[in-house]
Structure 1
Amino acid sequence: MNERDSVIREFADAAGWGAAQVAPIVGDASFRRYFRLIEPSRHAILMDAPPPEEDPRPFIDVAKYLTGQGLRAPEILAADADAGLVLLEDFGDVRMRETVDASDAETERAVYTRAIETLAQLHACPAARVPLYDRAVYQREAGLLTEWYCAARGLDVDVAGYAQAWDKVLDTMDAAAPQVTVLRDYHAENIMLLEDGGQGLLDFQDALVGDPAYDLVSLLQDARRDVAPALEAEMIAHYRALANPAYDFDTAYHVLGAQRNAKIIGIFVRLWKRDSKPRYPLMIPRVWDALERDLKHSALAPVAQWFDANIPAELRDPAGTLGGEFAL
């Protein structure tokens, strides 16, 4: 048993779970690890968010905010934030991703409908006390594409012009947009389907206050699974019917779609090149496809022109060629 495992065991003992069986759970793209603590009559999830790479405090704060608004985030059973350890309610193993992948179209539509309704409910709540999703954050995230993808492709691109194009596009965002809690990673692998029919939320520690369209993009232009354009359109219409957004929601959806997809392409290359996680490049073609669709919106013209001038179409990974063209 290494030093970190000893710290985890001491935490479990102090929380009253010292006799539990400990089973590892497949983690995510971060430094966090997860374990299921199993006893005959109860079970819980232990999050190991080791400092200094991770800080569980934002997760704890947002979880308490969400549950306070009547949404289903895991209950915090125990926490030692300084040690990076949190004991959570166990939502089980039934994720939205696997459920909809194995289901028929009717079930898929019903599950997505419920996820849209959860967003509408969240957006009707007072925003959480978290930082703003401001211009600097949008630019920093969009810049991950030039920093990682373009570098990996060996492309010498106009980085300053890229930022300038994004400034022009972000200027088209409607200032009348409401400011809501944006979970930022709201997709089928972070939504649990609960026994009572509810949907449990995960991976929201990076929440910011921003435009309502962002989490719809996360869900409906999912980097990890295909969402049919017809279902995407139907769910956007359902959200409109529920939330009645009184601003230029269509422009916001495509601008934030392009911004998020550019960011994800950069992040996925970074996870591959820097963190040696080879599964992520396999998802990049799907993200490029969504990005190309967003770039067709008239508000994205400056960014679309930059792409045309700097990244040839054959290098936009349309067939998943990225992973085969150069080694780690």
Structure 2
Amino acid sequence: MTTHSPSQDARLETLRAWLGTQGFEADSVTPASADASFRRYFRAVRGGTRYIAMDAPPEHNDNHPFVAISQRLADAGLCVPEVVLSDLTQGFLVLSDLGSTHYLDALTADNVDPLYQRALDAVVTLQSAVDTTGLPVFNSERLQTEMTLFSDWYIGRHRELTLTHDQTQTLSATYALCIESALAQPGYFVHRDFHSRNLMVCANGEPGILDFQDGVIGPITYDAVSLLKDCYIRWPEDLVDKHLRHYHAACVSAQLTDADYPTFVRWFDWMGLQRHIKVLGIFCRLKYRDGKAGYMHDLPRVYSYVQDVCTRYEALAPFAQLLRHPGADPHFSS
């Protein structure tokens, strides 16, 4: 059961009061969802119409990017929540409601193909039509900082391992290879968390896109690997390859890349390695720093993605050896 601290409950009352000052007299305000950040979402019903009220405390969240990027995605024709009301000083927003069905709730073997095709088509639109003026660049420093989460929170805090000098060098070399591959790719708008928990099944058939406020200019394969190598659901390799081929062809057709498919697959694999290394660290940080242990159930899936990529590339043999250390493998302990 999820419990809320007195400070959270006080913010909910402040949110209710703010809605009233905006002339938004809600018939009901009930919890909708929370995420891995400090944001909370409530479903507000007024006159039979449903909205989402977002509580994003400004001491933890800069909400300006959410509003700005929402408009950029809408201008590109993508399905995103409309910002109906906002008070960025207090950290309150009212959004249009895209429904209650996330991709993760809806996906089955029977519908994965059309749902993923629409989602990957949306990625191509993100990359070809979204205005990226002034957005941060996903550069080597940002990529390195993300992977350091693996060293600090997965290796150091969760597994309580002290690496040897050679093992530390192996990690550094692996990180450098991931960065080299990422920077070799053409750069476009990147959502950074384009996966089944941030996509909604909308009535018009298009994917509703959530949690886009951290968008950057980054590698072409990043959002595709977030979806196809999802941290919350796994699909057979032949299905992943089928959709990756579709996405590659769409990118070539849109003149986003002229890379051949083997090159594209290598980019995809190494981008996935970078992302999943980061996620292993983030899930552990969520548990130990933020008290959100639920993400640990997904740790073995993410770890298996890392292991799988290591078997495909000789350059990753030293990193694969490090992962075989009993203390580093989640299958050796809970």
Matched, 1:140 2:145: yes
Identical amino acids, percent of aligned pairs: 30
Of stretches 116-125 and 183-192 in structure 1, the one that deviates more from structure 2 is 116-125
Q: Is structure 2 residue 300 aligned with structure 1 residue 285?
A: yes
Report the aligned-residue RMSD.
2.0
Deviation larger for 220-229 or 255-264: 220-229
Query: Partners in 1 of 2:280 and 2:326 — Cα distance?
Result: 16
Query: C-alpha distance in 2, partners of 1:73/1:207?
Result: 14
C-alpha deviation, 1:311, in angstroms: 3.7
**What whole-Å deviation, never above 9, does each CA across 1:124-163 have from its counterpart, x for those lacking one?**
2254231000000111111111101111212112445523
**1:79 alignment partner, SS class:** strand
Q: What is the aligned partner in structure 2 of residue 110 from structure 1?
A: 114
TM-score after normalising by structure 2:
0.88
Give yes or no for the alignment of 1:314 onto 2:320.
no
CA distance in 2, matches of 1:214, 1:138: 12
Residues 47, 85 of structure 1: 8 Å contact kept: yes
TM-score after normalising by structure 1? 0.90
Q: What SS does the aligned partner of 2:100 have? A: coil
- Residue matched to 1:201: 209
Contact 2:178–2:273 under 8 Å retained in 1: no
Alignment of structure 1 residues 54-65 onto 2, 5 Å: 54-65=61-72
Q: Please state whether the residue corresponding to 1:26 is helix, strand or coil.
A: strand
Q: How does 1:47-58 map to 2 (within 5 A)?
A: 47-58=54-65
Distance 1:173 1:267 in 2: 20
Partner of 1:271: 286
Alpha-carbon separation, structure 2, partners of 1:66 and 1:48: 21
| 1:145 partner letter | F
The one-letter code matched in structure 1 to 2:65 is P
AA at the equivalent of 2:200: M
Tell me what 2:176 maps to.
167
Shift of residue 116 of structure 1? Answer: 1.1
Q: Which moved more, 1:106-115 or 1:45-54?
A: 106-115
Counterpart of 1:190 in structure 2 is 198
Q: Does 2:23 match 1:19?
A: no
Query: 2:170 and 2:306 mapped to 1: Cα distance?
Result: 19
Q: CA 1:304–1:26 in 2, change beyond 3 Å: closer, same or farther?
A: farther
**Residues 161 and 306 of structure 1 are in contact (CA less than 8 Å); yes or no, is this contact kept in structure 2?**
yes
Query: Aligned residue for 1:46?
Result: 53
1:224 partner amino acid: Y
1:51 and 1:306 mapped to 2: Cα distance? 40
> Structure 2: where are the runs of 5+ without partners?
1-5
Q: Is the 8 A contact 1:289 1:318 kept in 2?
A: no
Give the conservation status (yes or no) of the 8 Å contact 1:127–1:180. no
C-alpha spacing 1:304/1:10, structure 2 compared with 1 (3 Å): farther
Superposed displacement of residue 196, structure 1: 1.6
SS at match of 1:82: coil
2:228 aligned with 1:220: yes
Corresponding position of 2:3: none
1:247-281 Cα shifts (integer Å, max 9, x gaps): 33222211110000000001111111112222111
Answer yes or no: is the 8 Å Cα contact 2:140–2:183 preserved in 1.
no
Q: What one-letter code is carried by the residue in structure 1 that aligns with 2:281?
A: G
Cα gap change, 1:141 to 1:174, in 2 (>3 Å): closer
* Structure 1 stretches lacking a partner, 5+ long: none
Q: Deviations over 1:182-219 (max 9, x none)?
A: 00000011100111212100011111101110001100
- 1:69 equivalenced with 2:76 (yes/no): yes
Is the 8 Å Cα contact of residues 143 and 163 (structure 1) preserved in structure 2?
no
Deviations 1:103-139 (A, max 9, x none): 3x23121111111111112222254231000000111
Q: Which residue of 2 aligns with 1:128?
A: 132
> Is contact 1:62–1:128 with CA below 8 Å preserved after alignment?
no
Which secondary structure does the structure 1 equivalent of 2:293 belong to? coil
The SS at the match of 2:34 is coil
Aligned length: 315
Residue type at the aligned position of 1:196: N
For 1:93 and 1:313, locate their aligned partners in 2 and report how far apart those are by CA, in whole Å: 42
Contact (CA 8 Å) 2:186, 2:220: kept in 1 or not? yes
Corresponding residue number in structure 2 for 1:154:
160
